Amino acid sequence: MLEIDEIKCRDLEQSGSREWLETNGIGGYASGTVAGVHTRRYHGLLVAATNPPLGRMLLLSKFEETLLIDGERFELSTNQYPGEIHPEGYKYLTAFRLEPFPIWTFEVNGVELEKSVFMPHGENTVVCQWKLKKSSIREQQSAIELRPLIAFRDHHHLRQVNERFNEDYAVDDGVITVQPHAEMPLLHFAHNANGIEHQGHWYRHLAYAIEQERGFDFTEDLYQPFSLTFDLASDAVVIASTDIRSFADAGGLERSEIKRRADLIVRAETDDESLWPLILAADQFIVDRGGGKTVIAGYPWFSDWGRDTMIALPGLTLATKRPEIARSIMLEFAKHISDGMIPNRFPDEGETPDYNTVDATLWFFEAIRAYGDATGDYEMIRIELYEKLVGIIDHHVAGTRYNIHVDGDGLLYAGEPGTQLTWMDAKIGDWVVTPRIGKPVEIQALWHNALCIMESFAERFGDAERQARYFEMAAVASDSFNGQFWNSTENCLFDVINGDEKDGSVRPNQIYVVSLTHSMLDAKRARAVVKKVEAELLTPVGLRSLSPKDPRYVPVYIGSPHDRDAAYHQGTVWGWLIGHFVDAYRKVHSKDVRAKKRIDEILAGLRSHLGSAAIGQVSEIFDGDPPHTPRGCPAQAWSVAELLRALTQAQ
């Protein structure tokens, strides 16, 4: 259980900056702040995945909640309007906790009310419940009035009052149905209310602070069609769903979901209770795609990305003892291999994936290696994947998209003007902030690693001819790398080499040459790389993307989209990098008895972060300078995965 105390709950700056997240395993989600005030356009009680895992539509934004005690009204909601907070329900909050889903406790005149929200797995449904705690029931007559605010829009967009919005709704026994747009899903409200009253109001100009801070449009109009009133002698229940449900389903859905999440923790086989929130967080990113599984890169706005999926796969699935999910993900992506590349992104709209990365496919090899090592299921790799991996190597040798090809020195060249193929992929109009055309250091590490993995597979599968070929290719790449990439001035590795141009920027990409299973560096150079990264890039929450000593370093990730994209990989801290830094540190300090203590210290910052932004989650990025304020996506798959993987390996 993660809990926010009364002091933080009643401090809007703190409770309004802490977020919660529920997901449904098919790409839909619910999210908001502890205070109840929406600060992002993505905050809502039901964001349905209409074309799982994408096609996400924000249907139900929130409920306006009013507690009635002997007829006196107390507003429990919190909204921001331009220049004003109204109402201020957060002042009645006494606690918030994840147990395992979001639960709020309000206290008004001695009456304690508990609210909970959860999403059942596998359906576009959210279950909301309000109940009086037994210890607080008094002689007073208590009721609650709920007024749904609906949006019915793409989750990236904002709703404004317009004439196309159908304000009608249908009332049946225990179910109210709305459908403001014919092309959008029906939304059914199953309830046990004592009274229904038509309202038909627009709430205008709700303001979303983070959208304003990020330089986007930030005000929205939401429609309130009706109100529901409940006598709190029994629990108030509303199930909002694209399927028709009965309010009586709530108890069974709750028990089933609690059991499902408990089973995940049991299956992970850890007695360390501090890891339980991360195990549950890991599950939130695993979603259905077609007949298989994929990984949502981050909530609320990312879809499933090949690079993120392959990097996150070991932490999300193998560290949690769910290898069948890893198998499903790998096989699903293998279906989409094209010209020796796996997709980098499945777009929100349309069915054609994007193949615009050089590293996603190379991380695919590492994910398969990790799966084989964890499960011993090499027969599946031999039957389902080996020949496809052979084809990938052949395409890279012959050349594929974006001038990706093996050069005469055995190293992998990638890129052409106007493209951004590595994970440092920010682009503003025609300006590629970090183009890294040529031979990026981590691409060489991943390429050499992939060749060594293929040599191992070929040996295991009795493919002697290919085993010899991959051994020779890896040896040539290693010799070339060591002859070209050592930066004697900085005592570390160059970041990119392109012909005679050598980029000496001190970036974290070099850590993979040490951390990956098959390294090209000797012990002395490996130790020097780790020392350099630790000295200039390591922070309590991850690695900086550029050394503060570099004149291009940007200490704070804030401002307009242009300002933020320009800072994205120019000093901003990335949490996911911590996993491979720990791997590298463990390697070069394997004989140091103090190494475990130091690794615990390195991971402590991200562990404490679990209660400070999206509760139980790990943010995408942080400011380069202290206090390293969390930024970007509040729940990021590879950040969770790499922290979890590092922590489980440290046990």
**DSSP state letter for 140:** S
Q: What integer pLDDT is reported at residue 139 of this predicted model?
A: 59
Confidence of residue 264 (pLDDT cuts 50, 70, 90): very high
**547-557 per-position pLDDT tens digit:** 999 999 999 99
**pLDDT tens-digit series, residues 267-287:** 999 989 999 999 999 999 999
**Euclidean distance between CA atoms 631 and 133, whole angstroms:** 37
At 137 the pLDDT is 55
Name which CATH class applies to 269-650: mainly alpha
> Three-state SS string across 499-529, please?
CCEEECCCCHHHHHHHHCCCCCCCHHHHHHH
In this prediction, residue 141 carries a pLDDT of 83
Determine how β-strand 19-23 pairs with β-strand 142-154: unpaired
Residue range 375-380: average pLDDT?
Answer: 98
In the predicted structure, residue 597 carries a pLDDT above the cut 90: yes
| pTM (2 d.p.) | 0.95
Query: In which element (H, E) is residue 384 found?
Result: none
pLDDT at 608 over 90: yes
Q: What is the pLDDT of residue 61?
A: 98
Tally of CB atoms within 10 A around 516: 24
Residue 63 has pLDDT above 90, yes or no: yes
For domain 2-259, which architecture applies? Answer: Distorted Sandwich (2.70)
495-532 confidence digits (pLDDT tens): 999 999 999 999 999 999 999 999 999 999 999 999 99
pLDDT score of 347 more than 80? no
Whether the predicted pLDDT of 38 surpasses 80: yes
In this prediction, residue 135 carries a pLDDT of 54
Calculate what percentage of the chain has a pLDDT beyond 70.
98
The first and second tokens of residue 448, run together, are 């050499």
Please answer whether residues 272 and 162 qualify as being in contact, where contact means their C-beta atoms are separated by less than 8 angstroms.
Answer: no
Q: What is the pLDDT of residue 133?
A: 87
More confident residue, 12 or 164: 12
* pLDDT at residue 349, as a whole number: 60
380-433 residue pLDDT tens: 999 999 999 999 999 999 999 999 999 999 999 999 999 999 999 999 998 999
Between β-strands 195-207 and 78-81, what pairing exists: parallel, antiparallel or unpaired?
unpaired
| DSSP designation for 26 | S
Looking at residue 353, its pLDDT comes to: 86
Confidence of residue 350 (pLDDT cuts 50, 70, 90): low
Contact status, residue 247 vs residue 191, Cβ threshold 8 Å: yes
| Secondary structure (DSSP) of 209-259 | HHHHHTTS--EEEEEEEEEEEEETTS-EEEEEESS---GGGHHHHHHHHHH
CB-hemisphere CA count at 13 Å for 190? Answer: 14
CA distance 128 to 168: 23
* pLDDT tens profile 124-180: 999 999 999 865 555 568 999 999 999 999 999 999 998 789 999 999 999 999 999
pLDDT tens digits, 208-253: 999 999 999 999 999 999 999 999 989 999 999 999 999 999 999 9
pLDDT of residue 162: 82
CA distances from 146 to 64, 66, 370 (A): 6, 7, 49
Cα angle 66, 206, 67 (rounded to 5 degrees) comes to 5
Interatomic CA distance for residues 213 and 308, integer angstroms: 26
Distance CA 505, CA 493 (A): 9
Give residue limits of the domains in the chain: 2-259, 269-650
Instruction: Give residue-wise pLDDT tens across range 435-484.
Output: 999 999 999 999 999 999 999 999 999 999 999 999 999 999 999 999 99
Separation between Cα atoms, residue 530 and residue 224, nearest integer Å: 57
